A and B are shown apart, each in its own frame.
Chain A
Amino acid sequence: MLSRFLFFLMVLTFLFSCKKNGEIANYEQTPYNLELPSHFPDMEIPINNPLTVEGVELGRHLFYEKKLSGDNTLSCAGCHSPKAGFSDPRQFSTGITGQQGNRNSMALINLGFQKFFFWDGRASTLEDQILEPVPNPIEMHQSWKQSIVKLQDDPKYRLAFAKAFNTDQIDSLLTAKAIAQFLRTMVSGFSKYDVMYKKQYNEPLSPKEQALYNQVTNEEKAGYDLFLSLNGGDCFHCHNGPLMHINLFSNNGLDTEFKDPGLGGVTHKASDMGRFKVPTLRNISATGPYMHDGRFATLEEVIEHYSSGVQQSATIDPNMQFADQGGVQLDAFEKELIKKFLLTLRDEEFLNNPKFAAPN
């Protein structure tokens, strides 16, 4: 009897002697194979949050999880709708208390290539950005502590976190990491613009890409030329390359005085007043309204702004070359060509990708 007891004790001791608190040692994560378009730069993945199949799937569930809001009605997808290119078709998003913000929700496209987040760039990592909306009183209005309690209560999430992170102790950072992993997989790179771009650089087109290129019209090509033209739209200074944005801030001449200081509200520098993160133009036809405050409902209004509505101010971007004459002064035909080109940035595969849709 004693020998059996001692043997049992020995086995138990051996099994548990090296277990850390909360650590479940049974799961191996599967590296996620993120396929990038051939004309894209590499994506920098943080060392402390590599992409795994389990992490991405958990992140997808969390992105659509309404339990992260105080009244269980609002998920991330509520203000970043798949139908709107993961932006908000409303000018301002409405939180669970009915309060509205003062900025239009940004589209969640190709985030893995970006270096700062929010219109004012106050978050320097995607993980940091994700931590904000949940406790924000005008958004999801729930403490992370309460959010974690809800997740921890759900056996589905306890298992998913165990598989993704080998822990049964859910916390806000792991939640943010999982959502960040999911968001990094949301890559948009198959549009008419992309095949035109590859053609320019004499990069080989696959049969599928060639078929898409065959659909590009002469007007769309002309619109692209005008978009790039120094004497035309002059748009490329801030919207260029395969990502169709630059990782910089800009005052694009919306106002002479600033109700919203933008980057200046974060850095408190006079030279940053009225400067905002340059957004991507990818899927622009799906992600209206436009600008940091959603003031322009249509692409026509945006083009009109750059053509004749530019306002001078102390911090206007030097790349707004024609600010002193109100803009680039396009005629009606040129405006139409620019619009036709902007429509070529629509990537139907991205917008309808089931991998980014709500889990069943």
Chain B
Amino acid sequence: MKYTFLLSAFLGLSLLACKKDNPIEGTPVEEEKTTTLIGRLQLTYDGQIYLNDTLTSSFGYRYFITNIILLGTELRNGSNSLSPAFLYNREESGSLLFTSTGSPAAYGSLTSNIGVPPSINHADPSKQPNDSPLNISNVGTMHWGWNPGYIFVKIEGKADTLNDGQDNFDRTFNFHLGGDELLRTIQFPTVKWTELSSTSFESQFTFDLKSFFDDADPIDLRKDYFTHSTQSQMPLCNRLMDKLLVAIKSVQ
């Protein structure tokens, strides 16, 4: 009897020693679906998608774009915030402009800063949220320092200004635009959302290079090919920022 008891106890303990918890059964909880909203910015030239081609300026010389970077903040519809900050970097992320969560019905129109408001522009970028493009770890080359703050826009490329029939592309152009004076607000009165899946929607925007470089008040890259937003460069910088507001549109 005693041996039987001990044997039973030993068998029972060894069987139970590694008992895993049974899952608690109860009413299944339906997962709350989050809707992702994606914005994409496509470069175009006169309505045609720009595929890194060589373009011909209104002055006759040829040029191409190597990269465009835009830093935006306070993307919103009224008091509904869609994204506190976003960074578009064509070379690194293609057409991705922003990605956020929300209902497309709440964002039938959008307003955004191109640039960073003064209150943040001169604050310590290490203090920004870890996942923000404004954090010093994420901002890359888009931060000048405490005084000038962030670079709002970079437009870079090469132009062949020698006009000698050869592909020289002698002129590198760099427009680096930043500083409180250059902060702009852009508005998209109607934003169209296309359903990609039951949980994601996408909206398309375009940046038309012809409108920026070659339309009314064209930019002559032979003369105006460089800004670092110093005080003496402000007339050109303001002109470029104003042209940007006209060149970027939402696709209907």
Contacts and interface: CB of A to CB of B under 8 A. Distances in A.
Interface string A297-329: 000000000000000000000110101100000
Interface string A263-290: 0000000000000000000000000000
B18 A41 contact: no
| Residue of A10, A113, A242 with highest tally of chain B CB at under 10 A | A10
A323 B146 contact: no
B7 A6 contact: yes
B174 interface: yes
Contacts of A321: 174, 226, 228
Contacts of A14: 13-14, 17
A240 interface: yes
B172 A200 contact: no
B174 A113 contact: no
A17 B130 contact: no
| Residue of B124, B140, B143, B230 with highest tally of chain A CB at under 10 A | B124
Interface in B133-153: 135-137, 140-141, 143-148
Interface string A218-246: 00000000001011000011101111001
A47 interface: no
| Residue of B6, B10, B137, B143 with highest tally of chain A CB at under 10 A | B137
Main secondary structure of the interface of A (DSSP, over half): loop
A353 B51 CA distance: 53
Contact of B9 (A10, A236, A241): A10
| Residue of B2, B10, B18, B143 with highest tally of chain A CB at under 10 A | B10
A203 interface: yes
B172 A324 contact: yes
Interface string A1-36: 011001101100110011000000000000000000
B141 A319 contact: yes
Main secondary structure of the interface of B (DSSP, over half): mixed
A40 interface: yes
A230 B124 contact: no
Contact of A247 (B9, B140, B228): B140
Contact of B10 (A10, A242, A324): A10
Contacts of B130: 41-42, 44
A39 interface: yes
B6 A242 contact: no
A248 interface: yes
9 contacts: A9-B10, A13-B14, A39-B124, A39-B126, A203-B124, A230-B228, A243-B137, A318-B174, A324-B172
Interface of B: 2-3, 6-7, 9-10, 13-14, 17-18, 66-67, 123-126, 130, 135-137, 140-141, 143-148, 154, 156, 172, 174, 226, 228-230
